[in-house]
Amino acid sequence: MLNLILSAMKTLNALIGKSLRYSATAVALIISAVLTAQEVDYNLVNGVIKDAKTKERVVFATISVPGTTIGTVANADGEFTLKVPKTVKSNVFEITHLGYQNTQFPIVNGTSGKDKVYLIEPSSLEIQSVVIRPMDARTILEGALKNIDKNYSDKPVSFTAFYRESIKQRREYISIAEAVAEIYKAPYRYTLETDKVKIVKGRRGENVKKADTLMVKMQGGPHVSLYLDVIKNPELILTREDLPYYNYEVVDVVKIDNEANYVISFTPNTKLEYPLYQGKLYINTENLAITMAEFSIDLSEPEKVAQIFVRKKPAGLIFEPISTNYLVTYKKVNDKYHVNYMRSEVKFRADWRKRIFKTNYTIMSEMAITERNFDNVNKITFKESFKPNLILADRVNEYFDENYWGSYNTIEPDESIQSAISKFNKRFRKQ
């Protein structure tokens, strides 16, 4: 069997590369049902979030219930669904997003419908009210690194999360896998403990044509998203040793969760044996907590990036990286910051020698923390944990059903994924 395996090295793409496996085989669509959804009495709120002035959709906003640990994240189309148990006393939910005012809306008893529009107002920032520190961008970042122990949890936390991964060949989805997972998040201070994942329930759909000669699979499942926690994994973009290799600049001051944040851009200023990154860090002006990071790999030397990705590949296959995009956000709960949403997207081209056409692939993964537990946190045992070397799509059955997740909060599929799910369902009915 021919294989192309992407390996792990120092950079994040290497870590993501660790989670991609290719085999020159074709598979048939196999669909079966697993796990009946548990019925729970809850209120369902859904709709689309838009800018109150421009009426444009606001993507990846955080939706939460004040005073609780319940929440979710809007999708790439600004759509969301929030399930709130009727035992919860709060009668409002809150929408927060970079550059917008925190806005609360009533929790309607029942489904509000996907046509319901929730408008949020852009926030204005009075510069005179912001604590402007008399130091440059790198000094601010160094201060943020020193404050990690103060700003992030020094105790283990248990999360419930919704995870989705998809693989697209050209414009067509060939695989979608989803899971609800329990996560044991080890303290951010130095510890020998590692984050662990347990799959609660999951489902998948695949559509690989017999003519396909290259099958793409993602290894690691939710672990891929956890790698994006740059506070827990500073070797990605926040190692002190790598600070001299970047230029840092304060380019803006914005509001996140009603608090002012420096926007610090970073770009490579040198060439190393491994690729560097470029992007933006968002740092709270008061406590210097890193609240968000969005970044991508520097592709100025694509051959070097390809070497980092590829550990083993079929003879005759040329791997060409096209783009990478990574996002991680943090949310303050009980005066400590916790990871909230993670998304990665890698695009590459598979070019077979002596063939006319090249094939583009897009690999996306995203995970939203939907509930947090700070008391009586139980560790996930090695036996029940989902290992980083496993493939989620091979571990869950294929079954798409709107009621499948029961009372668990999920990320609404965007339009393109929803279309792919509809196609999978049609194939399921024919089967």
Q: Does residue 409 contact residue 70 with C-beta atoms inside 8 Å? A: yes
How far apart CA 240 and CA 50 sit, in angstroms, is: 39
DSSP conformation class of 152? B
Determine the pLDDT at residue 36: 35
Half-sphere exposure of 342 (CA within 13 A, CB side): 22
pLDDT class for 208, splitting at 50, 70, 90?
Answer: low
Q: What digits encode the pLDDT tens for the residues 144-162?
A: 999 999 999 999 999 999 9
Q: Does residue 292 contact residue 60 with C-beta atoms inside 8 Å? A: no
Determine the pLDDT at residue 10: 41
How far apart CA 342 and CA 364 sit, in angstroms, is: 11
Collapsing DSSP states into helix, strand and coil, what is residue 258? coil
Q: What digits encode the pLDDT tens for the residues 1-12?
A: 344 444 333 445
Tokens coding 67: 């005073």
pLDDT class for 225, splitting at 50, 70, 90?
Answer: very high
With vertex at residue 22, the alpha carbon angle to CA 19 and CA 24, rounded to the nearest 5 degrees, is 170
Average pLDDT of the residues in 180-208: 87
Query: Is pTM, for the whole model, over 0.75?
Result: yes
DSSP H helices, 170-277, are: 222-226
Share of the chain above pLDDT 70, in %: 80
Determine the pLDDT at residue 54: 94
